[in-house]
Structure 1
C-alpha cells in the first residue's frame, strides 16, 4: 500500500480531473522576496535558504528550457505537467513581468496549468485576477500560500513579516474569484506543539482551503536557524515527532482537501539537521505505516 490508499493526494486528484498522470515541474523564475530585498526586512524567514529549493543548477535557464528539461526527466512518470513557480515569492513583481513569465510557461507543450507559490501579503487583486483568467481559459491553477503556522507569536519568531490576518484576507479574495488555494504548513517550529498544529489546521479550514502541503522543519545551511542550531539553541523534530503531527493533521482533514505533499527532504551538504530529512522516503514510509495502522485522511472527523 502507498500514500494514495490513505490520502487524497495531488496525483489522485489529477488522475480524476485529467484522466492522466500529471506532475509538477519546479521553476526558478528569478523573483525575489520583500523579506529579503529590504521592503519588509533582509535575511528572509529564519528557516529559509532558497538554494535548498533547487537540486540542480538550472537557475540560469529560461522558463521554457527549465520546463523542457523537467519534462524529459519525468516523461516516464507523467503525461502532462503543471508549471510550479516555487522559489522566493512568485507574485512579487511588476504585473507585466509576472504575466510574461506565466505566459512563457503555458506556451510549453503538455503544460496544463500553473502552481504559483507566494506569501499571503504579496497577492494584489490584479495578480489574482490574472490567475483567475488563466483558470477561465481552462488551465488548472493553484495559488500556493506559505502560511507555515497560524500562531502569530511563531510567525514573529521566524521573521515571517505578516500575521494570520494577512493570510485570511488573501484566501478570501482568492476563493471569491474561484481560485484554488494550497496552504503550506511547517511542523516542528520552535516552541510549537501538536496542539499548535491542530489549532493551525482548524483556523486554515475555517478560512477555507483546497489543498495542503506539509513540511518538517529542517535546518539548512545559510539560514538564520542554522546559527541557532550550531549554538545548540534549536532542536529540529525527530522522525517520530513529525510523523505523529503529520498523521494527526491528515486524519483531521476533510477528504476533499488535496494533499500536495506530506513531507519534504533536502540533500546534504545543504541539509544540516535532522538527518532523516536527507531521504525522500524515510518520512513518507513512517507516515504511510502510521496511517495504515491508525486510519487515513478524515478518519478523526467521524469520531
Structure 2
C-alpha cells in the first residue's frame, strides 16, 4: 500500500477538502531568530545551523517574485499555500508581517498561509493578525517548533521555552480556528523511544491539527556538530527512526494530519545520518512497517477524544 493509504497526509487532506491538488510554496521573508540575536537567547538551538535551511539568493527576492518562481515550478496544482518557513516568521513588527503576508495573499491562487515560528514568539498582536486572515476566509496553519515535550531536553538543546508555553499558544490558536502543526524531532540527545511517545501523548492531550516529524540531523556549524565530531553524539539510524516514527504514527488519531513523516538534508552541510540525503528512504520504510503492523490510529491505547478547535474566541 502507498503511504497516503496508511497515513493521513497533508496532500490527501487538502485534496479531499479542496477537491483538487493544493501545494505549499516555500517563501523566505528575511526573518531572524530571537534565540540567536539575544532577544531570548544566544547561539540558537544546539541542533541548528540556520544557514543550512536558507538560500540567501532566494531570501533577497521579493515575496511576489518568489511566488512567481515557485508556482512556475509546480504545474500540477492551481491552488497554493504561502509557506513562510525558515527562521522565526512572526519575529517582526506587526505592520512588517502584515505587509509581507499580504504580498502573498494578493494572488488569487493562494488559499491560505502556513507560518513557521516558535511557541514563545506569537504575541497577542500577531495572533490577532492571523485571526483576521482566518476571518477573511483564508486557511491558516501555525507551524510551531516544539521538538519535544520534555522540559529537561528543551533546556539541554537551548530551545528557550518550555512545553507549557507551547500548550498555551496552541490552545489559544485553535480556539480561534487557526490550525496548529506541531514539529517534533526524533533522536534528540538522551531521549529514548519512550520519551518520543510521551511527547506525542502530551501533544495530543493538548490538541493539535497536524504533526511534522523530523529525524535529528547533525549539521555543520551547529553546537551538536562539535559533539558529533568528538564522538560524543550519535544521530538515529534509519532502523531506529523508522521504528519510533511508525509507532508514533500508529498512536495518532486518524484525523490528525501528518505534514511530514521524515526530513532530508544534503552534504556538505549534513554530517550525519547520511540516510537523510535520500528523502524517500525513511518514507518507504515507514510505509512498509505500517503496511505490516497497522496504519495510523491502530495503536491508540485508550478511547481517544480528539480535541477539535473551539470556534468561540477565548482571549
* TM-score normalised according to structure 2 size: 0.93
CA deviations 1:225-262 (Å, max 9, x no partner) are: 11111111110000000001111000000011000000
Residue 51 (structure 2) aligns with: 51
Question: In structure 2, how many angstroms separate the alpha carbons of the residues matched to 1:89 and 1:32?
Answer: 6
Residue 253 (structure 2) aligns with: 254
1:79, CA displacement in angstroms?
Answer: 2.2
SS at match of 1:186: strand
1:40, CA displacement in angstroms?
Answer: 1.7
SS at match of 1:301: coil
Question: In structure 2, how many angstroms separate the alpha carbons of the residues matched to 1:64 and 1:287?
Answer: 37
Q: Is the CA contact 1:3–1:288 (under 8 Å) kept in the aligned structure 2?
A: yes
Q: Is the CA contact 1:53–1:86 (under 8 Å) kept in the aligned structure 2?
A: no
1:35, CA displacement in angstroms?
Answer: 0.3
Segments of 5+ residues of structure 2 without an aligned counterpart are: 303-315
Residue 178 (structure 2) aligns with: 179
Residue 131 (structure 1) aligns with: 130
Residue 24 (structure 1) aligns with: 24
1:193 aligns with 2:188: no
Residue 145 (structure 1) aligns with: 144
Superposed, which structure 2 residues align to 1:53-132 within 5 Å? 53-54=53-54, 57-75=57-75, 77-132=76-131
Question: In structure 2, how many angstroms separate the alpha carbons of the residues matched to 1:29 and 1:124?
Answer: 19
Question: In structure 2, how many angstroms separate the alpha carbons of the residues matched to 1:176 and 1:281?
Answer: 36
CA RMSD of aligned residues (A): 1.3
SS at match of 1:30: coil
Superposed, which structure 2 residues align to 1:165-176 within 5 Å? 165-176=164-175
Question: In structure 2, how many angstroms separate the alpha carbons of the residues matched to 1:54 and 1:297?
Answer: 32
CA deviations 1:181-216 (Å, max 9, x no partner) are: 100000000000110011001110111100000000
| Worse-superposed segment, 180-189 or 133-142 | 133-142
CA deviations 1:79-126 (Å, max 9, x no partner) are: 211111111111111010011110011113411110000000011122
| Worse-superposed segment, 128-137 or 85-94 | 128-137
Q: Is the CA contact 1:151–1:164 (under 8 Å) kept in the aligned structure 2?
A: yes
Question: In structure 2, how many angstroms separate the alpha carbons of the residues matched to 1:57 and 1:49?
Answer: 17
Residue 223 (structure 1) aligns with: 222
SS at match of 1:37: coil
Question: In structure 1, how many angstroms separate the alpha carbons of the residues matched to 2:259 and 2:121?
Answer: 21
Q: Is the CA contact 2:26–2:83 (under 8 Å) kept in the aligned structure 1?
A: yes
SS at match of 1:300: coil
Question: In structure 2, how many angstroms separate the alpha carbons of the residues matched to 1:208 and 1:143?
Answer: 13
Superposed, which structure 2 residues align to 1:257-272 within 5 Å? 257-272=256-271
Residue 280 (structure 2) aligns with: 281
SS at match of 2:142: strand
